[in-house]
Homo-oligomer: A and B are copies of this chain.
Amino acid sequence: MIVALKIEKVREIVKKAKKKGKLIGFIPTMGALHEGHLSLVRRARKECDFVVVSIFVNPTQFGAGEDLHTYPRDFKKDKNLLKKEGVNLVFYPKVSTMYPKGFSTYVEEVSLSKYLCGKFRPGHFRGVCTVVAKLFNVVNPDIAYFGQKDFQQAQIIKRMVRDLNFPIKIRVLPIIREKDGLAMSSRNSYLSPYQRKVAPYLYKSLILAKELILKKRYSPSKIRKEVKKVIKENIPYAKIDYVEIVSPTTLRRIKKIDKGEILVAVAVYLGKARLIDNILVRVR
């Protein structure tokens, strides 16, 4: 496994692999890797001939007062994990490599980004789109992998790829959960033992939402209230950013439960950890 810090090095190595006809798989990450990331790596290993992982805590996707500086970083551990998974190339750039002096170009998705997390984290998805566009141009992959935990992010990236004509396939893979249901996240490390113990109620509240949706007897607003109740009653001091029931394609609120796919998404602060989770429900 090669670790490259420089853009030119990545280009050179990928070019060589492409010349040999290899299919390039790519997983962009911010490090602090867990089984969610590794599930993406494993799928890439199955589908592609050459797997690239980037590890970069991207400053432009953090807002003022967010956790840029405390975000967990452990490159040695990440490197060992990726080596075991048979990754071919790790791109581990410095901030100054990705954002040189006078950097002034951004990629912005202006429709899907307005909803859900976009309302609470202004500029977040602009930072995500910008860094992912950059990484796509550096790595030049055939297939890129994203986790469904960041459902909105994955939808926005798919839109960006279509709109800007990136010649890249996007795969979105299922959420990986702890045994008790908590969605894996690098930010779970922020949780106190008590917070960690009650955090699975987020997922439990989504399961409830799914059950209520499938009963087809309740309005979205009624279901949102019930979800909030579960969270508030079981996670003391939780600060709810949102509980939303939306169309998975437009991310807009739905007015009633109809046939088709419905996304239930939540974002909740447990102390300083902002946790997100979601569930996709198919109504027949």
**C-alpha gap A167/B166 in the complex (Å):** 13
Given contacts A100-B162, A165-B7, contact A108 B105 (CB under 8 A): yes
Chain B CB within 8 A of A254 CB: no
Which residues of A are at the interface with B, using a C-beta cutoff of 8 A? 7, 11, 100, 102-112, 129-130, 133-134, 137-138, 140, 159-160, 162-167
Given contacts A134-B165, A164-B133, contact A106 B107 (CB under 8 A): yes
Smallest Cβ distance from A149 to chain B, in angstroms?
22
On chain B, the residues within 8 Å of A110 by CB distance are 104-106
Smallest Cβ distance from A209 to chain B, in angstroms?
27
Copies of this chain in its oligomeric complex? 2
Are A111 and B104 neighbours in the complex by a CB distance under 8 Å? yes
Are A104 and B112 neighbours in the complex by a CB distance under 8 Å? yes
**C-alpha gap A114/B106 in the complex (Å):** 14
| 9 A-B residue pairs with CB within 8 Å | A100-B162, A102-B111, A104-B112, A105-B108, A105-B110, A105-B160, A105-B163, A106-B107, A134-B164
Are B137 and A104 neighbours in the complex by a CB distance under 8 Å? no
**C-alpha gap A109/B140 in the complex (Å):** 22
Write the chain B residue with the least CB distance to A111.
B104
**C-alpha gap A29/B273 in the complex (Å):** 49
**C-alpha gap A7/B165 in the complex (Å):** 9
Q: Determine chain A's interface SS by DSSP, over half rule.
A: mixed
- Contact residue among B109, B137, B165 (Cβ-Cβ distance under 8 Å from A167): B137
Write the chain B residue with the least CB distance to A138.
B165
On chain B, the residues within 8 Å of A104 by CB distance are 109-112, 159, 163
Smallest Cβ distance from A180 to chain B, in angstroms?
38
Are A107 and B164 neighbours in the complex by a CB distance under 8 Å? yes
On chain B, the residues within 8 Å of A133 by CB distance are 107, 164
Are A137 and B164 neighbours in the complex by a CB distance under 8 Å? yes
Are B137 and A105 neighbours in the complex by a CB distance under 8 Å? no
**C-alpha gap A133/B163 in the complex (Å):** 10
On chain B, the residues within 8 Å of A130 by CB distance are 164
Are B105 and A159 neighbours in the complex by a CB distance under 8 Å? yes
**C-alpha gap A159/B110 in the complex (Å):** 22
Are A164 and B7 neighbours in the complex by a CB distance under 8 Å? no
Given contacts A11-B167, A140-B167, A167-B137, contact A107 B109 (CB under 8 A): no
**C-alpha gap A102/B103 in the complex (Å):** 29
The 10 closest A-B pairs by CB, nearest first: A105-B163, A104-B111, A137-B165, A105-B109, A105-B160, A134-B165, A138-B165, A104-B110, A103-B163, A107-B107
